[in-house]
Structures are given as structure tokens and as C-alpha cells.
Structure 1
Amino acid sequence: MTSNKTRTKLKHIAVLSAAVALAVSACSGQQGQDAGQEETAKGQDKGVQQGKGGQPPAPVVGVVTVQPSTETISTDLPARLESRRSAEVRPQVGGIIKKRLFKEGSYVRAGQALYQVDDATYQAGLESARAQLASAQASLAKANSDVSRYRPLVQADAVSKQEFDAAVAAQRAAQASVKSAKAAIKSAQINVNYSRITAPISGYVGQALVSEGTLVNAGDATVLARIQQTDPMYVNITQSADAVMKMKQQMADGKIQMVEGSVPVTVLLDNGTEYPHKGRLIFADPTVNETTGQVTIRAEVPNPDDVLMPGLYVRVKLPQANIANSFVVPQQAVTRGQKDTVMIVNAQGGMEPREVTVSGRDGSNWIITAGLKAGDKVIVDGLSIAGMMQAKKVTPKEWQPGNQQKMPQAASAPAAAQKASEPKAASAAKQ
């Protein structure tokens, strides 16, 4: 009996303990839920405080602060490079090419041997001419002796006047024979020298167009090699006659800045970069092409590093006029159309459109001659972000080439942060 009462008390105690535990657990869960709701409410209140007034932070835009300057308006024209001097190596005597004496593509000096032609025949001719000279000199010596011997005898009437005159004539013939023999030696020596074909000018020699064993003849159309002088180089440009006349007038009026008395020329390479050495205009053809109405003008450009090559097509910047009180802005800052416009940051920090006049180009910039004033802040980058945010005010930041990718990211940071906070707020609301 006692045992049954004890068991009953233990059951009551166990049930009571379980009830207490459940109550404590429920209390703790409620406190945690209340704490979470409180934190969510604080976060929402904070977000409301940050967005108070419904205006997002002013986006950052890249600007250039313009100042007036004197700029040169240039025109880009196609051109072709030409070597300053070019020579074709040809044989002056006939024979078999025995040896090539140069390395293809190397620099050769004027007079340097390039080919050796078989000169056996010419050496023999030279020896024959020398022998003829010796014979003529011997004949002259005998004629001189006869004249010297006959002169006193004719005065003494020991020999006739006719014999003396014949001796004098023989002397003169011998003298002429000596001169002829000397000329024959010179001619034979020239042929021997020509058998060694040399470079007519200094420059870079190209491909060898004949090989050893080839028979060549004087006067043949066969070219043995070509030599080009590449420093400086000629730049042949074609331009309309009207533009050339206008440029000459600008030069006469002093509206084009001259360099050492000539018009400066800038060469643009295939990749769009400027060749580091400036050229100069040297002449304009006085004749206009009747078919095209264009004039050929020529510039000269240094080529100390042999970057430029003959026959290469390039573009050149040719100055047209100098414009004072003009402004230079990047091309991406200007909206081209019937009326060219830019956006500027006004004194109140807002964006304001401004109509401008574009008068030329300088590389990747436009030259503006009307519509801007000194100190204007022209927006170059970040305009699309500011437009999407419908910002009434912007924060100008001085723009430098290469940082255009950074500023849109900075401007979109508040939006990214807001998007990142939305899932968290939604999760807290579900809890």
C-alpha cells in the first residue's frame, strides 16, 4: 500500500517537472522572437532614416574643367611612304655572276662590292692594252731619235728636207699611238672595275634577284638588287586643290604655326598612335590632277629607328588653322546631332545642357569654339547613372582618362547596398 502511494507521488512530481520545463522553454522562445522583431524594427527604422525625404545620395560624375587655349585644327589624310633615294643595281658589263658579296637586308655603303662577274676576259683585254702601250712607246722613242738625228743634218743639207718631214710625221703618229694605247688601258681597266658590281648609293639592300652562275649583260632589264635610303622618308599626300589653296592662304596670313619655316606634319601609324618624330612639309605639286582635282604634296619625316618602311600606307595630320579661345573636351562628352550639346554641372550642383559649336578634332577630343566659358565643368562620365537615378544634384569629380570604369561603380554602390538589404528584411519579416 505504501509502495503504491510512493509511486503515485513520483508520477505527480515527474508530470509537474515536465510542465515547468515546457513553460520555461516557451518563455525563452517568446523572448527570442520578441528580440528578433525588435532588431528588424530597428533596421527598418534605420533604413527609413537613411532614405528620409525620398532622395538617394548625389551620384558622382566625372567632369573636366575647361579653360580657353589656342588649338590647331588638323585634317587626317591618307598617305604613302617613299624612300628618299632608291637605286636599282644593274650590270654594266656582261659575264657570269661568280659570287654574291652582300647579305640580304643589310645596310651597304656607296661603293661597296655586291657581285663579282667573271673578269678573265676583261683582265686579258687590260693586259693587251698595256702591251699596245709598250709598243707605241717604243715606236715613239725611235721616232724621237730620228727627228733628233735628222735636225742638224737637214741644216747642213746632209739629208733632204723631205726625209726630215717624214721623220717628224712618224714622231707625231707615234705620240698619237701612245695616247690611244693609254686610253685603251683606261677602257680595259673600267671594264675590269665594272666586273665588280658595287652599290651606287648607301642604304638597305633588299633581296638578291640573281644568283651565282647567272649570265648577265650590260643594258639588260635584269635588276640584280634594290637599295633604299630610309632616313629620312618621304610622305606623299593627296589633298584637294581647294584645301591646298586654303592652307597656303592660312600660311601667308600667319594662322598656321610654322616650325623652322615649314608646316609640321604628324604621321599616324596603323594602330592609331602618333609616330614620335614630327615631319615637315617640303613642297606641293604645282599641277592639279585634271581627273581627280587633287594635288600631291610631300612631307619629309625622320626615320632614325627604321620604323617606317617604303610603300607603307599611313595617315597624316595636316594643320589647317590655329583657333584662339577654344576649348578641348573628350569626344564622349559631346552629343552630336543637328545641335551639338554637352552637359555641365552648374553652380547649384545640378546638371544643365549646353549647346556648343564643334569646329574640329584633336585626337580623341573635340575642339569647341562656342557655348562654353572658362571654368565650366563638362560631364564626361557617370551621366547615364545620374539619369537612371533621376538625380537633381550630382557630385563632380575631376575626370582622368582611364577612370571611367570606376565612377559608375561608385555611383551605383548605394543601389547595390539597398538591393543587398532587401532579402535580409524579407527574411526577418517572415520570421
Structure 2
Amino acid sequence: MKRLWIVPFAAALLVGCSEEKPPQAVRPALYVVVQPERSEHLGRFAGNIEARYESTLGFRVPGRIVRRFYDVGAVVKQGDILANLDPTDQQNQLRAAQGDLAKVQAQLINAQANARRQQELFDRGVGAQAQLDTAQADLKTTAASMQQAVAAVNQAQDQLSYCNLRADHDAVITDWKAEAGQVVSIGEEVVTLARPEIKEAVIDLPGPLAEALPKGIEFQVAGQLDPNVKTTARVREIAPQADSATRTRRTRLTLDQTPPAFRLGSSVSVTVSTPIAEHFELPVTALQDVDGKTRVWVIDTQTQSVSPQDVTVLSRDTRNALLSGGLKAGDKVVIAGVNSLTPGQKVRLDKESSQ
């Protein structure tokens, strides 16, 4: 009887053990870390740092340039002589004006003495009224000629001083348009001065992009030699007409900050982007279409398991897809073998894909 009880019990134990499920295998997971995009990249353009205020100076008299005292890039102070002309002609004009003045001064002395004599004779009753009137008229005419001669001397002195081209404000020389020995006319452009205290970035934007820029759009400005030197900027001025050759429009940007490395003439890289609704970009291999819905598999780093998450596909191509909803920054999403995953499946985070 004992054998009849023992054998069935042992058989039952064997049957029970055979029905236990084997443990689920932990599979490696290739994944990416989700990074949201909140702006749309519109382009990157090369530009320069320029002064907001520039002035181009020229001589106020014609002549031949004798000397230039500074080179491009020199810092000058208000009143500094930048260049000068041969002053021979102006010196001769000044001498002539001074000679005319001396002549008129002598005539004025003579006219004053004559008018005084005629007045004395008239007062004693021995002089004629007509002679007194003539003497007084000559005195007034000579006095007027004296004023004219003084003005001519002052003008000649000014003309001589104009042979020196002076800086009208503290500035940096950015360009010379004439060389020593060159003959220039009145007002011809000779030198360009820039005020260094206010700087801005200058770029050339394609016409359609310049016209479509949203109001208040922010630009990212970084140094080309050192991209870590950067700041933000906003549009100050867009040229009303496009360049006839390139069809671009000169755009000037006001810098929110001016790093010391942004010197006049420095090359910068300007990035244009516009705010958009938050979205994510993932490889199309991360998507799984089930029952008309699209989902991705998110890894729970605490439990080392995966779970499905529904997402909305904004657009996709053969390589990448733009998604919205369901994800947040820092989520780890599986990008390979998603069709063989099951909810709660254990995974091993062996490798992270760079995206």
C-alpha cells in the first residue's frame, strides 16, 4: 500500500516542475536619449563686427596729399591730424590777403585823418559842407573795405588750416581711400573713422528670409575663431533694397552684450532660428505602428525594463522622424528591435547611440 501512495505523489511532483516557465532573457538595448527641439534652424551666416557709427572724412580744400600720419586700425583722438596737403597755394593766398589788409589799414588811417580835418575846418566856418560829406563818405567806404579785408585774411587762414585733416571725434581708422602724393578735390573721400564704443554684427541675408523674419527674432552670434565667445542679438536695421549682384540684404544686429573678443573687423558666425512647438527627432527605427497608432519603447532606468509610449508623428523620411507628445527630455528610447519587445521586458543598457 505504501508503494501505491508514493509513486503517484512523485509523479505529481514531476508534472508540476515541468509546468514552470523559464526566466525571460535580458536582452541588450540600443537607445538614444531624447533631447527636445524648441526652435527651427533657419540658417547660419558669416558676418563681421562693425561700429554702428562711421564717418568718412575729406579735405575741405583741393590739393596734393603730402603725408598720412596713421595706418588702418590706429586709435586716434579728437583733433589729431590724420593727413595733410601741400599748403603752398593756401599760404600764398594768406599772404595776398594780409597784404590787402595792410593796404586798406593805411587807407583807413588816411580817411580818418581827412575826415577829422574837414570837420575842424567846417566847425571854424572855413570849410565847405560838400567837402565834409565827401570825407565822411570816404571814411565809411574805407571802413567797410577794412572789414572785408579782415574777413579775407580769416578765410585764408581757415583755408590754410584745412590743409590738415583732423579727427572730429575719438575713433578707429578703418579705411584709407587715398594715398600720399595723390591729388584730391574738395570733399573727396579720404579716410573712414569708426566709433568703437558701440559695435554691432553685420550679415547679408537672402532676400526672402530677410522679408519673412518674425518680429523680435533672436540671433546667436559666436566668434569664428573661438565659438565659445558668443552672445545674442536682434535686428536693428535691414537694408530696404537687395544687392543687385547677390540679391541679399544687408542686416545690422544690435548685440545684447559685447565680449572683448568682438573687436572691430572680427569675423563671426550668426545663427538664425525661430521658436516653434516642442518636438523630438528620433530614428525611424524607433517607431512601431500598432492598430493605427505609433509608439516608441521607453526604458525605465530604475527597473531596467521597457514600456510602450504613444507619440504623434509630425513628419518622417527614410532616416528620421519628428515627433510630439508622450516624451520628455532625458527619456531613453529604444531604437533597434522594437518589434520584438514586450511591456515590462528587462533590458541591458549596453550602448547609447549618438544622435
Aligned twin of 1:76: 43
| Alignment match of 2:118 (pick from 134, 147, 150) | 150
1:267 aligns with 2:221: yes
Aligned twin of 2:346: 393
- Per-residue deviation, 1:173: 1.9
Q: Residue 226 and residue 243 in structure 1: after superposition, are their counterparts in 2 closer, same or farther (change >3 A)?
A: closer
Q: Residue 164 and residue 191 in structure 1: after superposition, are their counterparts in 2 closer, same or farther (change >3 A)?
A: same
Q: Residue 334 and residue 180 in structure 1: after superposition, are their counterparts in 2 closer, same or farther (change >3 A)?
A: farther
CA distance in structure 1 between the aligned counterparts of 2:171 and 2:146, rounded to whole angstroms: 42
> How do 1:2-401 residues align onto structure 2 when only pairs under 5 Å count?
55-56=25-26, 58-59=28-29, 61=31, 63-64=33-34, 71=38, 75-76=42-43, 78=45, 80-81=47-48, 83-151=51-119, 153-154=121-122, 157-200=125-168, 202-206=170-174, 212=180, 214-219=181-186, 224-229=190-195, 231-238=198-205, 244=211, 247-248=214-215, 264-270=218-224, 273=227, 276-284=230-238, 298-301=252-255, 303=258, 305=260, 307=262, 310=265, 314-317=269-272, 319=274, 321=275, 323=277, 326=278, 333=282, 335=284, 343-345=296-298, 349-350=305-306, 352=308, 354-356=310-312, 370-373=324-327, 377-379=331-333, 383=335, 392-395=345-348
RMSD over aligned Cα, in angstroms?
A: 5.0
Aligned letter for 1:55? A
Q: Residue 305 and residue 316 in structure 1: after superposition, are their counterparts in 2 closer, same or farther (change >3 A)?
A: same
Considering fraction of residues, name the structure with more helix: 1
Give the structure-2-normalised TM-score: 0.64
Deviation digits for residues 315-340 of structure 1, max 9, x if unmatched?
Answer: 34254x465xx36x5x5x45499999
Aligned letter for 1:142? N
- Per-residue deviation, 1:273: 3.8
Deviation digits for residues 85-138 of structure 1, max 9, x if unmatched?
Answer: 344454443444443322442222343212233324433432442343233233
Q: Residue 156 and residue 318 in structure 1: after superposition, are their counterparts in 2 closer, same or farther (change >3 A)?
A: farther
Aligned letter for 2:135? A
Give the structure-1-normalised TM-score: 0.55
CA distance in structure 1 between the aligned counterparts of 2:85 and 2:242, rounded to whole angstroms: 47
CA distance in structure 1 between the aligned counterparts of 2:173 and 2:213, rounded to whole angstroms: 41
Q: Residue 371 and residue 217 in structure 1: after superposition, are their counterparts in 2 closer, same or farther (change >3 A)?
A: closer
- Per-residue deviation, 1:300: 2.3
Aligned letter for 1:161? Q
CA distance in structure 2 between the aligned counterparts of 1:290 and 1:338, rounded to whole angstroms: 48
CA distance in structure 1 between the aligned counterparts of 2:139 and 2:272, rounded to whole angstroms: 75
- Per-residue deviation, 1:54: 7.7
- Per-residue deviation, 1:166: 1.7
CA distance in structure 2 between the aligned counterparts of 1:104 and 1:304, rounded to whole angstroms: 22
Contact 2:210 2:249 in 1 (8 A): no
CA distance in structure 1 between the aligned counterparts of 2:30 and 2:285, rounded to whole angstroms: 24
CA distance in structure 2 between the aligned counterparts of 1:339 and 1:290, rounded to whole angstroms: 51
- Per-residue deviation, 1:287: 6.9
- Per-residue deviation, 1:243: 7.5
Contact 2:52 2:200 in 1 (8 A): yes
- Number of aligned residue pairs: give it: 315
CA distance in structure 2 between the aligned counterparts of 1:289 and 1:215, rounded to whole angstroms: 31
Structure 2 unpaired stretches of 5+: 1-21
Aligned letter for 1:350? V
**Between Structure 1 and Structure 2, whose CA radius of gyration is higher?**
1
Deviation digits for residues 224-261 of structure 1, max 9, x if unmatched?
Answer: 4443445412535546669846724xxxxxxxxxxxxx
Aligned twin of 1:5: none
Structure 1 unpaired stretches of 5+: 1-51, 249-261, 360-365, 397-406, 411-431
Q: Residue 161 and residue 275 in structure 1: after superposition, are their counterparts in 2 closer, same or farther (change >3 A)?
A: farther
Aligned letter for 1:408? K
Q: Residue 59 and residue 235 in structure 1: after superposition, are their counterparts in 2 closer, same or farther (change >3 A)?
A: same
Aligned-residue identity in percent: 17
Q: Residue 334 and residue 146 in structure 1: after superposition, are their counterparts in 2 closer, same or farther (change >3 A)?
A: farther
CA distance in structure 2 between the aligned counterparts of 1:176 and 1:132, rounded to whole angstroms: 13
Q: Residue 56 and residue 322 in structure 1: after superposition, are their counterparts in 2 closer, same or farther (change >3 A)?
A: closer
